[in-house]
Structure 1
Amino acid sequence: MGYKVAIVGATGNVGREMLNILEERGFPADEVVALASRRSQGTEVFFGDKPLKVKALESYDFTGTDIALMSAGGSVAKEWAPRIAAQGCVVIDNSSAFRYDQDVPLIVPEVNADAVTGFTRRNIIANPNCSTAQLVVALKPLHDYATIKRVVVSTYQSVSGAGKDGMDELFQQSRAVFVADPISTQKFTKRIAFNVIPHIDVFMEDGSTKEEWKVMAETKKMLDPKIKVTCTAVRVPVFIGHSEAVNIEFEKPITAEEARNILREAPGCLVIDKREDGGYITPIESAGEDATYISRIREDQTLENGLNIWVVADNLRKGAALNAIQIAELLVNRKLLRGAKAA
């Protein structure tokens, strides 16, 4: 049995990546529909070699559609996800609109696949923040082995996390530096070319940014509410691929070698960890790849039961499009969609 799948936000970076990954992974779709706002109606996108004309979300009837993969922003999701879900279509939303709703499961399949059954309460499933997704893939097997008490993470997030406008701004500013043109700043709060910005999303009352709060809240929801998490989120002049320096404190002893062996066997993880020049992963090597890469695994000599690790992943794939499609595959493989349709 094939399924009818709608991509909401099909003209954006993540929407186009969703179309690519659906085709790459051979998702059992009889029909794929590309949707966006009216101003993008008629734009052409591709599902494999097949061109699709973008249709307007506002006038589309979701009756008979099995899955809607949404990557159209929080305001669109808040308005449209409940409407789409009410028509019997399961919504997998990439925005932050429903991540903290107790009636909406927040899912990374390698971490908390069993929680997916909770989608029936609202017919909506939330995709986590891009930086959280790769973090919890690396933390889950270590937590199962030695129980994590505290995590300190510093993120180095690429400009694609801010969408096409962020990528365009890095390109334009970098070019301007070399040809001595004036540099304009629109998407980011300061110049991003040849610079780093310790500010992603809005500031909160305690001095944290919303991005840093998301990492904390989502890790607790998916992994364990008892884990203490603190984060500093930094935007860096990289086009694709988020990196994270992670310090972990455990309740039980764990050596670097034990951690290395555990992560080598863990779903979604790929360990590249040689203690030599170039024996680690960088974001440019993760671009276009599905794995969450882990390098620089070592014991923290300042902590009892402490480790440091370096985590890198393609934020457009595992941080967004790939994870959403893995959730859709979870629904198919566990035969949950037919039950939802019947209900």
Structure 2
Amino acid sequence: MPMPLVDDPLAPRIAVVGATGAVGGTLLDVIEDRGLRYRALHLLASARSAGREIRVGDREYLVGELTGFHFGDADVVFFSAGHAVSRAWVPVAVAHGTLVIDNTFAFRMSADVPLVVPQVNSAELDRRPAAGVIANPNSVTIPLVRVVRDVERRWGVRQISVSTYQAASGSGHSGIEELQEASRLALQDPQATMPAEEFSPGLAFNVVPQIGRVLDDGFTLQERKLLQESRKILGLPGLDITATCVRVPVVNGHSAAMWVECLKPVDRAELCLLLGGLPDVTVHGDGMHGDILTPATLGDPNHLHLGRIRISPTNPNSFLLWLVTDNLRVGAALNALQIMETLVAKGHL
């Protein structure tokens, strides 16, 4: 694998905002795994995390404070530090001519900001966006649209119902740590008061049937994002998607149970062949022989994993499946990096 840090003046200068967070750290891992070439790498975080050292490739990098960084020193900046930080600092980066790939929901629904999953709508990257920002979708939106795109082209889609089962890592390091600590406490004393700053009610040995604030229509912000983002990425403004998003006591790995109703009958063998032929997708068995797909038995963390594919016995136009992804990789960092790789390939970086 080629060394990432190079002297090539055509290689981009990269900055990562939120480099000490769960997604930021995973992004650095993916950069190293894929041998992405760059001529400078700047790691940025809040004052609380600045001064730490992080190893990437064969070098140690000192984490700098975001407020002291000159964005003119980077060609592309990945933002993974929360939507409030993005809203405050993305305009600053763009004003310096820096291209931003934002991993928060701050700009996803802005009309002039492309929302991109390269396997689905890479044409959005045929030109550098005038806004200077490309949005990375939600961690459950990314796998859903990758499944639905070719299904819609082949059979058409009338409606989708999805229930997601989302891991603690969706709330970053703090979410993981709270789940682990609460689990230890609960095993020692089930009556103990559990930490509940990230998840309320507490997540240990529990499931929480809402993620994000509840909106006026009874759906949560997470469920609203899944609907709106999917419509934008797929270019289907009338797509009917109903979602229930649930937080579960899993450290990492989001799962989803999907029901898709198409416009005409679906053949299971053809569906499995179509889905299995998609880039970086693994189709698993039916679970009858012990090959049960779970977040703990995921396999390749860079793949989208599908199992329990079946046609409804009462509606031949509809099918059901079980979907599992590494949400920090497929659902966040890997997609963001693939956006950059596509821009490089198209000559925009």
TM bracket (short chain) = over 0.9
2:157, 2:263 within 8 Å by CA — same for their partners in 1? yes
With the length of structure 1 as denominator, give the TM-score of the two structures: 0.95
CA deviations on 1:247-293 (whole Å, 9 max, x unpaired) are: 00111222111110001111231111234133242112337710111
Q: How far apart in 1 are the matches of 2:152 and 2:128?
A: 25
Matching of residue 10 in structure 1 with residue 22 in structure 2: no
Q: Quick check: 1:229 aligned with 2:238?
A: no
Output the CA distance in 1 between the equivalents of 2:275 and 2:300. 21
Measured against aligned partners, the alpha-carbon deviations of 1:187-213 in whole angstroms (never above 9, x if no partner) come to 111121111100100000010000001
Residue in structure 2 matched with residue 219 of structure 1 by the alignment: 230
CA distances 1:148-203 after superposition (whole Å, capped 9, x unpaired): 11110000000000111111111011101121144232211112111110010000
Partner letter of residue 92 of structure 1? I
Q: Distance in 1 between matches of 2:303 and 2:288?
A: 22
- 2:15 aligned counterpart, secondary structure: strand
Q: Is the 8 A contact 2:94 2:100 kept in 1?
A: yes
Query: Within 1, Cα distance between the matches of 2:164 and 2:248?
Result: 9
Compute the displacement of 1:134 (Å): 1.2
User: In the alignment, is the contact (CA less than 8 A) between 1:137 and 1:268 conserved in 2?
Assistant: no
- Residues 18 and 60 from structure 1, CA distance in 2 versus in 1: closer, same or farther, beyond 3 angstroms? same
Task: Return closer, same or farther for 1:179/1:241 CA change in 2, 3 Å cut-off.
Answer: same
Matches of 1:324 and 1:182 in 2, distance apart? 38
Alignment-derived partner of residue 343 in structure 2 = 331
CA distance in 1 between counterparts of 2:154 and 2:289 reads 30
Partners of 1:274 and 1:189 lie apart in 2 by 35
The separation in 2 between residues aligned to 1:243 and 1:302, in whole angstroms, is 25
CA deviations over 1:75-128 (Å, ceiling 9, x no partner): 110111111012111100000000000100000111111112464221100000
CA-based RMSD of the aligned residues comes to 1.4
Specify the code of the residue in structure 2 equivalent to 1:37.
S
Q: Hey, what does 2:91 align to over in structure 1?
A: 82
3-state secondary structure, aligned to 1:121: coil
Amino acid in structure 2 at the alignment position of 1:219: S
Instruction: State which of 232, 251, 266 in structure 1 corresponds to 2:263.
Output: 251
Q: CA deviation at 1:302?
A: 2.9
Match of 1:202 in 2: 213
Runs (5+) with no aligned partner, structure 2: 1-9
Deviation at 1:135, TM superposition (A): 1.1
2:205 matches 1:189: no
| Amino acid corresponding to residue 231 of structure 1 in structure 2 | A
Distance 1:85 1:281 in 2: 42
Query: May I ask how many residue pairs the two structures share in their alignment?
Result: 337
Q: Distance in 2 between matches of 1:268 and 1:146?
A: 22
Within the candidate set 134, 137, 158, 1:125 is matched to 134
Decide whether the 8 Å contact of 2:286 with 2:309 is kept in 1.
no
More helix by percentage: 1
Cα offset, 1:227, TM superposition: 1.5
Q: Report the Cα offset of residue 225 of structure 1.
A: 1.7
CA deviations over 1:209-252 (Å, ceiling 9, x no partner): 00001110011001122310000000000000000000001112
- Mapped partners of 1:243, 1:84: distance in 2: 34
User: TM-score, with normalisation over the residues of structure 2?
Assistant: 0.93
